[in-house]
Structure 1
Amino acid sequence: MVAGAAATYFGLRNMGSMAEYNASVAATRSALKQAPGTSDLIRYATLAANSHNTQPWLFKVSDVGIEILPDMARQIAIVDPDNHHLFASLGCAAENLAIAGSARGKPGELSFNPANDGAVMFAFGGRTPIEPALFDAIPKRQSTRGDYDGKAVSSRDLQTLSAAVAVPGVDHVLITDRPRIDRVRDLVVAGNNAQIADAAFVRELKTWLRFSPRQAMVTGDGLFSASTGNPTLPEWLGRVMFDLVFKAKAENEKYARQLASSAGVAVFVAQKDDREHWVLAGRACQRFALQATALGLKHAFINQPVEIAGLRPELATLVGMPGRRPDLVMRFGYGAALPFSARRPAERVIIS
């Protein structure tokens, strides 16, 4: 009993504080200099959305541009066996990089290089448009995994969202009617049931959970409890509690509640099912997330219907694109912010 109390005491003492964590995260999201160096641009690129906050990217700088390379050491093989989400995440980072470069007088053109492990190339030069609203949203954007307030989004703002998402090779659908949102909810619940029943999925997810502020700061990645609306705990206690509370029923009730509180759902569907188009889907998704942020909206991934292959056909039919593979799904709406997720510093993702 004494030993248990001592372990709890030292665990709490060493878990760090939210004040320390918030200060650390704020530094990674500080405003971009008027004349940024390459590492500053890369820092902005890393603020992009990505699956499980794995940050599966590496950046290689040359005289002609910046290559964004897949970091295969950060694969999540159970939830993403063909690396679809990994390449979509590269697209998210590439879009941030292009928007930030244009805003700071360092424009570039994005292209996909299948011969180089599927790298995305940001080649310096060209005249890409400056998009102030999307640029200003980069450090403010977050995947907000909490309840929203149920308020509808105006037709004008929905049109603005659709216009921002225009990326050649990718189609999208914004679902705002309650019957179809409920059908998405049913697919999310079905996917959630399948995933939680898979012990390998649960083990993999657990490796990316960060329960204490210090753990999240040290790793600079992963799904931090506070960023998902859960309490912070010492790492050892968090793992024990996760095993006790991570059950299908509770998770299903949470997703049902969150979708009921959302204004809508965005589904992104690339025109081809290959790595290049997965990257394009990520770019479109990132543009949606930034425009949503600029409009005061929150968003969060609900990708279970695309992660469970057997559910994809029903989702594709629901959005009017039968026979195609849906890529990414996000709910959106108005709600309160949660603590930002951590990012690894630029020097840890730049390779020579």
Structure 2
Amino acid sequence: MLSPYETAVAAQRRPALEHADGPLDLRELVRLATLAASSHNTQPWRFRLGAAAIAVVPDFERRCPVVDPDDAHLFRSLGCAAENLVQAAAAQGHAATVHFDAPEQCLTVRFEPSAGLGPTPLSRALVHRQCTRRPFDGRPIAADAGALLEQAGTVGRARTRLIDSPALRDTIIDYVRAGDVAQLTDSAFRRELIHWLRLNDAEALATGDGLAARTSGQPSLPRWLARPLLRFVLTGQGQADTDTANIRSSPLLAAVLAADDSPAAWVDAGRAYERLALQATALGIRSAFINQPVEVPSLREPLRRALGLAGETAQLLLRLGHGPVAPYSLRRPVEAVIEVDA
């Protein structure tokens, strides 16, 4: 028998609607868009429905000013949601174009019927994609799969570079470890992170967002018991050791790069990541973020030099590998994220 948490996940992640012709189901598109990745699972988006378009609007009340002071992750998250709209529309026989309006700070995704479109491996992966915090089993990723991942992770001004160099892996581990210590010894970062932790199933079900304990393998505990334990669990050294082991279990790392560091580039980086992650999911490959060297300002330039970048910026870092499916995180109801005209 499914628990209430598992029942909610099953409802939110039911298979995408598929048909080759007919009108678009815009609410179905929004459901699938909400399954996109976002920092701390904050889901910082709202959706404005039009006749043949959906505007993806930032929800700045859900921003993370400590870990993401310039809102780069927020706009990457909007790009992730927009890419899900593109893939979900294809499953309903519609082509989609994405336009970022910098002055308005929103994305508009427009749809039109296309006889050549239908369900794809990426559209079917929408309900299965996840960011897992678990170690992988070390099995290698085939070269032809790597080529598909790099191809999928190229959108607009963003591209994906796969990393299999042992020396560069060790350097990235050093930067991730330094980032873990810097973040988890910062009281403001800890407060912000704890704000988004859902320490038991009841909290996760009540909010539909945040980092649920079960997704990281932690027991579901009442807040009065779990909160005092966090000072022993959330330590820089402990997290650094966990991340080191997780990275070493991963046969490939990947960096999502962009031609510049503007909001438009952040959006493209989000789209590139989401398409990469969907392609990985379709291939049975898991992915997980290791963004600490991107998030800690003092580590960005050393990372850029280590990657040998000339002009490009590192937008996201992740690890790739094989392993079991982890528990899924929850999402807010569609009704909570659709803007209704007053």
* Alpha-carbon displacement from aligned partner over 1:198-244 (angstroms, at most 9, x marks no partner): 10000000000001111101100000111012221112222121123
Match of 2:180, SS state, is helix
Q: Does the CA-based 8 Å contact 1:54-1:208 persist in structure 2?
A: yes
1:159-238 alignment runs, 5 A limit = 159-238=147-226
Would you say how many aligned residue pairs link Structure 1 and Structure 2?
A: 335
Q: Is the 2:198–2:204 contact (alpha carbons within 8 Å) kept by the matching residues of 1?
A: yes
In structure 2, C-alpha distance between the alignment counterparts of 1:190 and 1:292, rounded to whole Å: 28
Q: How far apart are the structure 1 equivalents of 2:18 and 2:273?
A: 27
Q: Runs ≥4 in structure 1, deviation > 3 angstroms?
A: 126-131
| CA distance, structure 1, for counterparts of residue 311 and residue 18 of structure 2 | 46
Q: Residues 335 and 38 (structure 1 numbering): CA distance in 2 closer, same or farther, change over 3 Å?
A: same
Aligned match of 1:121: 108
Could you say what secondary structure the match of 1:326 adopts?
strand
| One-letter amino acid matched to 2:57 | L
- Residue 9 of structure 1 corresponds to which residue in structure 2? none
Q: Which residue matches 1:333?
A: 321
Residue 6 (structure 2) aligns with: 22
Unaligned stretches of 5+ residues in structure 2: none
Q: What are the equivalent positions in structure 2 for 1:27-176 lying under 5 Å apart?
A: 27-34=11-18, 37-116=25-104, 118-125=105-112, 127=114, 130=118, 132-176=120-164
Q: Deviations over 1:264-297 (max 9, x none)?
A: 1110111121111100000000011001111111
- Contact 1:313-1:325 at 8 Å conserved across structures: no
Q: Aligned to 2:3, what secondary structure does the other structure show?
A: helix
Aligned-residue identity in percent: 40
Q: What residue ranges of structure 1 are gaps of 5+ in the alignment?
A: 1-16
CA contact (8 A) 2:285 2:322 kept: yes
Query: Conserved in 2, the CA contact under 8 Å of 1:313 and 1:322?
Result: no
DSSP 3-state at the match of 1:336: coil
- What is the rounded CA distance, in whole Å, between the counterparts of 1:55 and 1:312 in structure 2? 25
Q: Secondary structure at the match of 1:239?
A: helix
* TM-score (norm: length of structure 1): 0.92
2:67 and 2:295 in contact (8 A); partners too: yes
Q: Distance in 2 between matches of 1:248 and 1:340?
A: 25
After superposition, the C-alpha distances for 1:167-187 in whole angstroms (9 at most, x for unaligned) are 121132100122211111111
Aligned partners of 2:52, 2:13: CA distance in 1, in Å?
26
Distance 1:110 1:126 in 2: 15
Question: Secondary structure of 2:332's match?
Answer: coil
1:280-319 counterparts in 2 under 5 A? 280-319=268-307
Q: 1:258 aligns with which of 246, 250, 269?
A: 246
Contact 1:173/1:319 (8 A) holds in 2: no
1:241 to 2:229 alignment: yes
Residues 313 and 323 in structure 1, CA contact (< 8 A), matched pair in contact too: no
TM-score (norm 2): 0.94
Q: Summarize the Cα distance change of 1:114–1:316 in structure 2 as closer, same or farther, 3 Å threshold.
A: same
In the alignment, the residues of structure 2 paired with residue 226 and residue 259 of structure 1 have an alpha-carbon distance, to the nearest angstrom, of 21
Deviation at 1:323, TM superposition (A): 4.6
Distance in structure 1 (CA, Å) of the matches to 2:169 and 2:251: 9
- Quick one: distance in 1 between partners of 2:74 and 2:229? 29
Conserved in 1, the CA contact under 8 Å of 2:38 and 2:73? Answer: yes
Deviation at residue 126 of structure 1 after TM alignment: 6.5
Q: C-alpha separation between the residues in 1 aligned to 2:173 and 2:2?
A: 33
Quote the offset at 1:141 in angstroms: 0.6
> Distance in 2 between the 1:148 and 1:319 partners?
24
Deviations 1:33-77 (A, max 9, x none): 336621111000010111100000000011241000000000000
Residues 270 and 325, structure 1, Cα contact 8 Å, conserved in 2: yes
- Structure 1 Cα separation of the partners of residues 49 and 60 of structure 2: 19
2:266 to 278, 281, 304: 278
Between the aligned partners of 1:174 and 1:233, the Cα distance in structure 2 is 38
